[in-house]
Amino acid sequence: MSTAQANAEMKSWDEQTWDGERYDEVTGPKQTVGGMTTAYTGDLEATGDLRFVMSYADDDSCVSTGYEVVTGTLNGRRGSFVLHHTGGFHDGAATGTFTVTSATGDLAGLTGTGRLTWPRGEPGRFELDYELA
């Protein structure tokens, strides 16, 4: 088993309630859908394109699930892979876990799980424990 670590920088964010309002213009409990583009640097040099669904209990916390297509280089091997994310936002930080669901190119056969920690206003931290057949 190998471990890859990378910093994550948000490049774009789009989130709306199910009826099309901006997520930050609706207070209290709500459900949203959206997308985020991320640049990864470190053992993973890549761009991630995430689509997610979130459920907010209040304005300061939520749970989420989504899928991210990551395209680039993982420890020198080029390709793309899909991550299934589950997590949420609590106490000023987004945290979650993910599982590799498929991979292509030099990364075909990639399996693994990982975690992401992203304090508000700071770079995120990505860690992937993986095997590559």
Q: What total number of domains does the chain contain? A: 1
What pLDDT is recorded for position 40? 98
Q: Which domain holds residue 66?
A: 2-132
Model confidence at 59: pLDDT above 80: no
The CATH number linked to 83 is: 2.40.350.10
Query: pLDDT tens for residues 66-111?
Result: 999 999 999 999 999 999 999 999 999 999 999 999 999 999 999 9
Q: What is the DSSP letter of 22?
A: B
